[in-house]
């Protein structure tokens, strides 16, 4: 900067007949431009007030007061009104848990008696409390959503296997096996598991769901269903219900068969708990003597293995995108990646045992530390405590397998000699 040609305040060059024209301070005669002289109310050199200065802090430029200072000054000057506004804000936030009418009444009282600053603070508090109340309410179990899932299962209708290349259940078992393998594998090799927020993962989930839905089709009224149709029709429908859930965040997602309309929003941990109740009832049906006597041992072992694997998957309780806990499998550092890696290995070993020919006398797994005991776990699932509305939720499918009278007998007494059903009361007692 050249003090002969530039303003010492804004460093702009002097220009005649412009806002940066050269002029002198009226008090000390120091040079500065016309714009700086018009904007300032005190001399920047000797701090002398100029004759056209107004009242108040004349050394400051015109502006707005600090809002924080204004709020603090008001609160100190009006302690009673501040206390009243805070009490009203608290009561308004609490009213969000009990209903909109109470919140509206408190807001009306607040508007009538409080100042604009208190009203603004109360509005922010009300929004925060309402959001917290909605968050809390969504995380709680809702009977309407459980009933919606039960109705979807009861209204599923009879389904028959799509037989390809002369096989019966093998195509359905292979598809469900591939779906479990896909779910427990990372999206890309060597990368962490992606549970939500991935467009590619969601597209792959939709593809898996479409393939499972094509394994079984709706059976016509004249079709005589065999045991494989009943078992794999229900099992594929159960997997379809599982894949309908689309996770948008660690705890939030949408599911048409479970979530609240119109968007199907639901809480992840509540959804997985109710779906586990439904597959526990399905395990009781698959474990009944009528099914055991009429289904091949290898086919039954494959169905058990897939259902147990789904129960393990649904045991993961989400706390954050990469962390959580399971009541069936202990993950290192509560990591979702470690949970999937362990379960993938155990599922592969259990599947090998299920598919092994009986005449081979079993497979030696002594080199592995842990292996999934499918038969023991299916017994645990069959005897699990379930809410009353999930009792016999899978019984409604049409059973015309062997003869009409035999099917009706199976419908009425399918669980008489099987595992006892425990029904949970609201306080958790059996």
The predicted-structure confidence for 119-165, as pLDDT tens digits, reads as follows 566 666 766 666 556 555 666 778 999 999 999 999 998 888 887 65
At residue 317, the pLDDT reads 93
Nearest to 269 by CA among 217, 320, 228, 331: 320
Does residue 429 fall inside a structural domain? no
Does 217 share its domain with 361?
yes
Nearest to 349 by CA among 308, 388, 395, 403: 308
Tokens of 235: 């099992």
Q: Are strands 252-254 and 22-24 parallel, antiparallel or unpaired?
A: unpaired
Does residue 193 fall inside a structural domain? yes
Q: Specify the higher pLDDT residue, 17 or 177.
A: 177
Does 56 share its domain with 155?
no
Question: Among 117-121, 157-161, 313-317, 319-323, whose mean pLDDT is lowest?
Answer: 117-121
Q: For all residues of the chain together, what is the average pLDDT?
A: 78
Within 8 A by CB and 6+ apart from 91, the residues are: 106
Report CA dihedral (254, 258, 261, 263) to the nearest 10 degrees. Answer: 10
Spatial distance between the Cα atoms of 385 and 153, rounded to a whole number of angstroms = 19
How many structural domains does the chain have? 3
Domain interval for residue 49: 1-63
Does residue 251 fall inside a structural domain? yes
DSSP calls for 346-361? HHHHHHHHHHS-GGG-
Q: What is the pLDDT of residues 27-38, one digit of tens each?
A: 888 888 888 888
Q: What is the pLDDT of residues 91-114, one digit of tens each?
A: 655 554 455 455 455 555 445 555
Is pLDDT of 83 > 60?
yes
Does 93 share its domain with 239?
no
At residue 24, the pLDDT reads 86
Spatial distance between the Cα atoms of 164 and 167, rounded to a whole number of angstroms = 6
CA angle 50, 56, 58 (to 5 degrees): 30
Does residue 268 fall inside a structural domain? yes
At residue 405, the pLDDT reads 38
Rounded average pLDDT over 43-64: 62
Does residue 73 fall inside a structural domain? yes
Q: Of the residues 47, 63, 79, which one is the last residue of a structural domain? A: 63
Say what angle helices 227-244 and 268-286 make with each other, to 10 degrees.
170
Does 178 share its domain with 280?
yes
Does residue 182 fall inside a structural domain? yes
Q: Of the residues 115, 134, 153, which one is the last residue of a structural domain? A: 134
**Per-residue confidence band for 383, with pLDDT thresholds at 50, 70 and 90:** very high
Spatial distance between the Cα atoms of 185 and 190, rounded to a whole number of angstroms = 10
Does 73 share its domain with 190?
no
At residue 145, the pLDDT reads 93
Tokens of 308: 């147990």
Does residue 38 fall inside a structural domain? yes
Does 46 share its domain with 102?
no
Q: Is the whole model's pTM more than 0.75, yes or no?
A: no
At residue 309, the pLDDT reads 97
Does 189 share its domain with 243?
yes
Spatial distance between the Cα atoms of 183 and 185, rounded to a whole number of angstroms = 6
Residues of the chain above pLDDT 70, percent: 71
> Which CATH number characterizes residue 13's domain?
3.30.40.10
Does 271 share its domain with 211?
yes
Spatial distance between the Cα atoms of 394 and 198, rounded to a whole number of angstroms = 33
At residue 291, the pLDDT reads 76
Does 408 share its domain with 375?
yes
Kind plus residue range of the DSSP H or E element containing 132: helix 116-139
Does residue 299 fall inside a structural domain? yes
At residue 134, the pLDDT reads 54
Question: Among 58-62, 174-178, 395-399, 415-419, whose mean pLDDT is lowest?
Answer: 415-419
Does 272 share its domain with 317?
yes
At residue 408, the pLDDT reads 40
Sign of CA dihedral 166, 170, 171, 174: negative
Secondary structure of residue 217 in the 3-state scheme: strand
Does 34 share its domain with 73?
no
Is pLDDT of 173 > 90?
yes
Is pLDDT of 430 > 60?
no
Question: Among 54-63, 197-206, 261-270, 278-287, whose mean pLDDT is lowest?
Answer: 54-63
Does 234 share its domain with 219?
yes
CA angle 211, 216, 222 (to 5 degrees): 155
The residues that bridge with 176 in the sheet, in sequence order, are: none
Report CA dihedral (228, 289, 349, 314) to the nearest 10 degrees. Answer: 80
Secondary structure of residue 73 in the 3-state scheme: helix
Spatial distance between the Cα atoms of 252 and 54, rounded to a whole number of angstroms = 59
The residues that bridge with 32 in the sheet, in sequence order, are: 23
Q: Of the residues 78, 103, 134, which one is the last residue of a structural domain? A: 134
Secondary structure of residue 409 in the 3-state scheme: helix
In contact, 144 and 138? CB cutoff 8 Å:
no
């Amino acid at each position: 900067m050249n003090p002969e040609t530039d303003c010492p305040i804004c460093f702009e060059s002097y220009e005649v007949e412009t806002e940066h024209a050269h002029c002198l301070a009226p008090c000390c005669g120091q040079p500065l431009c016309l714009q700086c002289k018009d904007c300032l109310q005190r001399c920047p050199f000797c701090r002398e007030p100029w004759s056209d200065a107004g009242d108040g802090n004349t050394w400051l430029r015109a502006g707005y007061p600090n809002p924080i200072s204004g709020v603090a000054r008001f609160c100190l000057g009006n302690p009673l009104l501040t206390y009243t506004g805070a009490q009203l804000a608290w009561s308004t936030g609490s009213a969000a848990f009990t209903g909109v009418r109470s919140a509206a009444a408190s807001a009306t009282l607040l508007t009538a008696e409080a100042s604009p600053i208190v009203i603004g603070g109360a509005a922010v508090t009300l929004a925060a409390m309402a959001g917290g109340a909605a968050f809390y309410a969504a995380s709680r179990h809702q009977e309407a959503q459980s009933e919606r899932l039960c109705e979807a299962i009861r209204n599923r209708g009879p389904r028959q296997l799509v037989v390809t290349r002369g096989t019966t259940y093998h195509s359905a078992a292979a598809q469900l096996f591939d779906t479990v393998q896909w779910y427990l594998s990372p999206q890309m090799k060597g990368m962490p598991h992606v549970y939500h927020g991935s467009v590619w993962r969601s597209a792959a989930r939709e593809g898996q769901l479409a393939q499972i839905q094509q394994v079984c089709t709706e059976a016509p009224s004249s079709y005589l269903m065999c045991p494989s149709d009943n078992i794999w029709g229900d099992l594929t429908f159960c997997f379809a219900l599982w894949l309908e859930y689309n996770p948008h965040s660690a705890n939030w997602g949408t599911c048409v068969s479970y979530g609240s309309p119109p968007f199907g929003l639901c809480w992840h941990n509540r959804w997985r708990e109710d779906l586990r109740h439904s597959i526990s009832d399905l395990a009781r049906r698959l474990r009944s003597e009528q099914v055991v006597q009429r289904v091949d041992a290898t086919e039954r072992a494959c169905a058990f293995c897939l259902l147990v694997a789904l129960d393990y998957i649904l045991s993961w309780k989400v706390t954050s995108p990469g962390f959580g806990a399971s009541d069936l499998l202990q993950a290192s550092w509560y990591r979702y990646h470690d949970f999937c890696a362990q379960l993938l290995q155990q599922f592969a070993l259990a599947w090998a045992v299920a598919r092994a020919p009986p005449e081979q006398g079993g497979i030696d797994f002594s080199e592995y530390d842990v292996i999934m005991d499918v038969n023991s776990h299916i017994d645990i699932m069959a005897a699990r405590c379930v809410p009353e509305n999930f009792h016999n939720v899978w019984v409604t499918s049409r059973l015309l397998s062997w003869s009409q009278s035999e099917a009706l007998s199976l419908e009425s007494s399918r669980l008489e000699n099987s595992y006892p059903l425990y029904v949970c009361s609201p306080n958790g007692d059996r």
